[in-house]
Structure formats: C-alpha cells, structure tokens
Amino acid sequence: MTYVNGDVYEGDWVENAREGHGTYWKHEYGRHRAEYVGEWRRGKREGFGVFHDELGQRFEGDWVRSKRHGRGRQTAIANAEDREYQTDGEYQTDGGNPPGVDLYEGDWVEDRMTGEGVMSYANGDVFAGGWLDGEKHGSGTHLYAGKGRAYEGVWDRGTPRCGTYREALPNEAERILGREGTRGVPRGSEARDAKTKMKPLPDLGLVEPRFVETESRDARLRDCGAR
C-alpha cells in the first residue's frame, strides 16, 4: 500500500486496515526508512514492535493503540542541557551534546516511562528505580560515574527527597545492568546445576500489582514529607 505522501505499508490487512504483522516505511528526503516493524491492530501499532524515528532513536517493546505501553527498551540521544549528564554538578556552557545515547529499559504507560526501570546515561551514570511520566519517582538509586558515588533514597517527580549519599559499591553499575558474571563461567557449572536443580515452583503474583506498587511508593513519599 502506497500513500499519497509517499509512505508505504507492507504487511497484513483485515477489513481495509493494518492488522497482523507489517512494516511501515516513512518517505523522507527522497528515500524510505523503516519506521515501524511489528504487530498491528485496527490500523494502530499494537503488540510487540520496533520503532525508529528520523534521528535514529529506537524503541523495542510493547505497544497499545500506537503508544508505548508495557515493557520496552529505548535508546535516545543524550541531552547536554539536562543536569543528569553533568557529573560535576555544573551545566555545560558550549551548548553541545555529549556523544552517545541514553538507554532506558523498563515499564511504560501511555508513551511515558512509568513504573520500574533502569536508565543508563550517556555519561556512564545509572539510575534504577521508580519512574512517573518520565521522571524519577519513588525509591531508587542513582550512581554517579564521574564521582564514584551513589544516592539511594526516595524521589518525588525528579527531586530527591530523603536518602543516603554514599560511596558506590564495587561493580554496582554492572550488577544493576545485568552485566556482572556473564563471562568466565566454567562449563562444569552447568552440569552441577543440572544435578541440583529443583522442580520449578508454580507461578506466583499479586492480584493487583500496579495498585500495590503505587501504594508502596506513595507511602515512602509520605514518610519523606513529599506528600
């Protein structure tokens, strides 16, 4: 299907609407780029899919009604004007952006980072904890790569309310990012694990996990005087 503006859709159709799996090609500057590859429902991005914008930024994860919603992983060009990228606590004055990108992996609600997630910043900083509408919110830990320090505590819409400023632990960032212990594991360990492996436990979960998470976060904020 080729649209009037030059965009192209290749994939499944049901009742004259994009439905199933397909690729949407965006026509820009005389050429096409794959803007979205994934699942569709009633003409909207829904299910799992990969999205690229005109800057090359990428989102890979869940979609509902063409909005990022569920779990996802996003790379975004770093913003030098944000204090998070200044490990010395001062703003840059040259107006340039630092090289690299920020990487967020976690929960999304209607196109916004909301829930639990980990942000790996372009300058090496790492934040793991709660988010609300794209801001740090609730319990979390921010590791400052340039200082070897960490702030662990409670945040209220991007503002730290109460917590502890301490030395970063050895390999703390690697543990948060899941990179520790992925190399040098002896093959024999797999055999030992197989011998001692227990039968799988039944799946357990909260009846209303989002409600419990929100109540717990709000309680921490109240304890810190934020609410």
**Predicted local distance difference test score (pLDDT) of residue 56:** 87
**pLDDT greater at residue 209 or residue 87:** 209
The one-letter amino acid code at 4 reads: V
Residues 95, 77: Cα–Cα separation, whole Å: 15
Would you kindly state where each structural domain of the chain is located, as residue ranges? 1-54, 70-192+207-223
Per-residue pLDDT tens digits for 78-88: 864 454 444 44
**Predicted local distance difference test score (pLDDT) of residue 212:** 56
Confidence of residue 178 (pLDDT cuts 50, 70, 90): confident
pLDDT of 99 > 50? The answer is yes
Structure tokens at 119: 């942000």
pLDDT of 121 > 70? The answer is yes
210 phi/psi in degrees, rounded to 5: -65, -40
Confidence of residue 100 (pLDDT cuts 50, 70, 90): confident
Of residues 66, 70, 24, the one with CA closest to residue 46 = 66
Per-residue pLDDT tens digits for 13-49: 999 999 999 999 999 999 999 999 999 999 999 999 9
pLDDT of 199 > 60? The answer is no
Confidence of residue 7 (pLDDT cuts 50, 70, 90): very high
**Predicted local distance difference test score (pLDDT) of residue 224:** 77
Strand arrangement of the beta sheet that strand 112-120 belongs to: 8-14, 17-28, 31-41, 44-52, 58-64, 67-77, 101-109, 112-120, 126-132, 135-144, 149-156, 159-167
Mean pLDDT for the stretch of residues 152-178: 91
Percentage of residues in the chain having pLDDT higher than 70: 70
Among the listed ranges 29-43, 57-71, 152-166, 168-182, which one has the minimum average pLDDT value? Answer: 168-182
Q: 45 burial class (0-12, 13-18, 19+ CB within 10 angstroms)?
A: buried
Q: pTM of the entire structure? A: 0.72
Residues 161, 10: Cα–Cα separation, whole Å: 50
Of residues 19, 8, 14, 7, the one with CA closest to residue 47 = 19
